[in-house]
Amino acid sequence: MVICKFDKTEDNEVLVITRDNFEKHTNKSKDYIFEVRGKNQYYAYCPSCGNPIVLVNLYVDQDHNEKKPTVYGKHSVPGNPFDLFNVETYKRCLLKSKNKIAFSKHEKHRNKDTAEFFKKFLYENIYEIRRFVSHILGINISQKQFDRFLDEFERSEGYYYKGLDIGNLPYLILFLSNQQNITYQFLNKDSSVELEASIKGSSYFDIKKTEEQKKNEGQIVHKEIISETLKNRVSIYTVFKHHTYDKNQNQHMVYEIYEKLKNPDEKAQETLIVSMKILLDTAYMYNLARKKEEEKKH
């Protein structure tokens, strides 16, 4: 795993595993560092099951191939020197290597409780998840549009995907959304320059801005030169594909935008406008869940 927390309690912050985060949050306390066979071993907790994890390669700068090795966390074992290890919660942990299954494999389980857990989580955080999905897209998704994403998600039995955990839920929604038309949607304030430039560079679409709108804002509209008849035959849509894990255990997906021209003979002609490899931010949802839990307590 690439994320961890340094306190077992529910409401502790989930962080990306780095040397800086380790030092900042543990102050290099001996409570987190143990000598095992003459070497230091560094510990933290799994954000999903709360069990101890070992931080691998945290202080290794070069391996025998003189490359900087990957820093990651792996579940510890019962009897480790750091803290109690609960085998039962570990068995169900979604961050177990065995459960790291790329969405692209479309493997599903049949556990109703797990599916119910994700469904409840999704609908309890629906507003925040829509906002995060908009952030990933760089496009401000309306509730109506988001409902279409959710319909696709239900039809594809998203809750039953084996590789699903809280951290990658918004990405699975996008992965299963198939082709989503984004004509007349608005760009998000934090959208990338690349996205805006790509849409502007398309054959049929443009970004319309009012005087006050700055960089990375505006609405996706047809280019002014497009005739009314042609408008009904062209569309612009998003596609998410190729969910993978790299050797550093980071998750990636490919985000593409196409424009489509429907010819009078009904044959569609698709053109790729932009293809972006994105790195999944999996700590975001865990922290959102944590904040919600904290709010409930107050």
Q: How far is the CB of 127 from Zn ion (least distance, A)?
A: 28
Does the footprint of Zn ion cover residue 80 (CB under 5 A)?
A: no
Residue 46 touches Zn ion, criterion: CB under 5 A: yes
How many residues bind Zn ion (CB under 5 A)? The answer is: 5
Nearer to Zn ion, 51 or 145 (CB): 51
Residue that the structure tokens 């699975």 belong to: 172
Please say which residue, 8 or 208, places its beta carbon nearer to Zn ion.
8
In the list 2, 93, 122, 136, the residue contacting Zn ion (rule: CB under 5 A) is 93
Does residue 48 touch Zn ion according to CB under 5 A?
yes
φ/ψ of residue 212, rounded to 5: -75, -20
The 16-45 contact track toward Zn ion, x by CB under 5 A, reads: ------------------------------
| Cβ contact 115:159 at 8 Å | yes
Q: Is 238 in the site for Zn ion (CB under 5 A)?
A: no
Would you count residue 207 as binding Zn ion (CB under 5 A)?
no
Cα three-residue angle 288-133-95, rounded to 5 degrees: 55
The nearest distance, CB 49 to Zn ion, in angstroms, is: 3
Question: Least CB distance from residue 2 to Zn ion, whole Å?
Answer: 13
Using CB under 5 A, which of 49, 136, 236, 283 touches Zn ion? 49
In terms of CB distance, is 93 or 239 closer to Zn ion? 93
Query: Which of 89, 275 has the CB closer to Zn ion?
Result: 89
> Taking the complex as a whole, how short is the minimal distance between the CB of residue 95 and Zn ion, in angstroms?
5
Q: How far is the CB of 85 from Zn ion (least distance, A)?
A: 10
Report the residue number, 134 or 168, with the smaller CB distance to Zn ion: 168
CA 125 to chain CA mean position, Å: 15
Please tell me whether residue 95 binds Zn ion under the rule CB under 5 A: yes
Residue 187 is a binding residue for Zn ion (CB under 5 A): no
CB of 87 to Zn ion, least distance (A): 11
| φ, ψ dihedrals at 144, nearest 5° | -60, -45
Shorter beta-carbon distance to Zn ion: residue 97 or 248: 97
Q: How far is residue 188's CA from residue 282's CA, in Å, rounded to a whole number? A: 20
Shortest separation between residue 122's beta carbon and Zn ion, angstroms:
21
Closest contact distance (angstroms) between CB of 1 and Zn ion is 7
For binding to Zn ion (CB under 5 A), which residues are involved? 46, 48-49, 93, 95
